Amino acid sequence: MNHRYQTVQRIFGAIVALSSLITVPPMIIAHALGEPSQGAFFDSFVIIGAAGLLLWWPVRHAHYDLRLRDGFLITTSIWVIASLVTAIPFMLAEPYLSYTDAVFEAASGLTTTGATVIQGLDALPRSVLFYRQSLNFLGGMGIVILAVAILPMLKVGGMQLFRAESTGPTRDNKLTPRIAETARALWKVYLGLSLMCALAYWLGGMSLFDAICHAMSTTATGGFSTHDSSFGYWHSPLIDGVAMLFMLLGGINFGMHWYAWRRATISHYQADAELFTFLVIAVIATLVVAANLFLSGHFPTVADALHYGGFQVVSNLTTTGFVTTGYTNWPGLAPLLLVLLGFVGGCAGSTAGGMKVARLQMVVRQGLREIKQLVHPKGQFVVKVGGRRVSESVVISVAGFCTLYLISFLVMTLALAASGLDIVTAFSAIAACLNNTGTGLDGVANHFGSLGDFSVWVCSFAMILGRLEVFTVLVLLTPQFWSE
């Protein structure tokens, strides 16, 4: 057993040491621009790197073949540890956050939630802004997949980590025979989309700095921005359109993007039942929100209602969390519908959060099957998605996931309400964090800076719980996990 824990320690040490490298690009930017944050990033680099080396060095030769349960422990721990150590620059540089708020900001970046406790983004040093965006970028495809892709030297049974990290109900689908190759393939697609997004933003009128920063948080469906007013800063339908396109691409299974790139075909997009449902939800929600905005007189023209309503629907459905005009004060059902779209989320295998369209498809089909079974008790009905039968074990697993997801949501909402928050703020804060959407209503409409420390820690936990899709974290809380 000793070798097992030493191997786990070796992985933690390597990940912490590697986390120090995240501070290098902003340190270079700070040096080039003569910003005072240069020293803070250097200090962070030394502190985080030294801590990682101290963990790694004594057990650098340890080796143990990890099991599936180790994958859950390591994955969850890596996200927690990464959030704890990447918080340090937010304390040492502007905006000089408390450790509680700094962890929230770092966790929000890495889990691609996009919620923030910072007010006055426009006044922050560019190096700090770049650092925030880079957290979104790294979290988008998952820091664990990054580790599996570029660190075969860890000698970890990569599949254990990949299974724990991947999103959606179809975790065992590998694009290539070797897991590290699969992770590298996904990263190539992710980088390619991010570069195209940056170029499109730049050509659309953003500065080069803003274009790169927002590309890092768009494909990642992260939602961090370099401006307090997010996309409302530009008042540009063209830039909003570019954002909508790449948010949608980020919300689609990256395995499909890889296949399109590898085979130079798009036919598989047309045949995918989950993608079809995802787009149908986006179109219907856009029409409902736009009709609500136009008929209530909130926007004078149908074009404006479609523009702003469509942008916000795509932003919330893909759990990105960008805003243009801010939807909290929109009339009627729009604000609540937009928050609820975050529960749906994007497709399985995407960078989006939420419960995923594929799971909701299965749950709805399972519900319809039960109704048919009541009418025809002796009939034999199967759950099908995209014309294919779904095994009973997957249906049961998905039903269990959705149940645990909603119970977690209710428990954490009650915890926030018990701490003194009004029910709308508590409800939307947990919805924003668990679904990794980042935007809420009332007290958390613009930022989370007004929440108390207890609420901030609960929200930080919710972000990691949502990013790792509940099971990966909650399995650690069961006695059976720790018993041999």
The response to whether 222 counts as a known ligand-binding position is: yes
3-state secondary structure of 388: strand
Helix H or strand E segment including 401? helix 392-418
Q: Give me the helix-helix angle, 453-467 and 392-418, nearest 10°.
A: 170
Judge whether 438 and 114 are in contact, CB under 8 Å. Answer: yes
Give the other-Cβ count within 10 Å of 195's Cβ: 13
Task: Look at the block and give the residue holding tokens 């018993």.
Answer: 483
Q: Cβ distance 417 to 423 under 8 Å? A: yes
Q: Which residues share a beta bridge with 388?
A: 385
Strand ranges for 164-303 from DSSP E: none
Which residue has 């095994």 as its token pair? 391
Which residues lie closer than 8 Å to 392 by C-beta, 6 or more apart?
none
Name the residue type at position 192: G
384 has which bridge partners?
389
- What gap in Å lies between CA 431 and CA 459, rounded to an integer? 10
Kindly report the length of the chain.
484
Q: How far is Cα 467 from Cα 76, in angstroms, rounded to an integer?
A: 10
Assign 326 to helix, strand or coil. Answer: coil
Query: E-strand spans in 280-427?
Result: 384-385, 388-389
Residues 167/161, Cβ–Cβ less than 8 Å: no
Joined together, the tokens standing for residue 459 give 């929200």
Nearest C-alpha neighbor of 164 from the set 150, 186, 188, 148 = 148
Q: Which residue has the tokens 């948080």?
A: 217
State how far the Cα of 128 lies from the Cα of 209, in Å rounded to an integer: 13
H or E element at residue 72 = helix 68-85
Rounded-to-integer distance, Cα 87 and Cα 107, Å: 8
437 has binding-site annotation: no
Distance between CA atoms of 321 and 115, rounded to whole angstroms?
8
Find out whether 328 is annotated in a ligand binding site: no
Give the long-range contacts of residues 68-73, CB within 8 A, separation 24 or more.
Answer: 68/160, 68/163, 69/475, 69/481, 70/4, 70/8, 70/160, 71/157, 71/159, 71/160, 71/161, 71/163, 71/164, 72/164, 72/472, 72/475, 72/476, 72/481, 73/8, 73/476
Residue in 317, 340, 338 with CA at minimum distance from that of residue 326? 338
Tokens of 33: 């621009």
Residue 389 DSSP class: E
Annotated ligand binding at 436? The verdict is yes
Residues of the binding site for K(+): 112-113, 222, 319-320, 436
Residues of the binding site: 112-113, 222, 319-320, 436
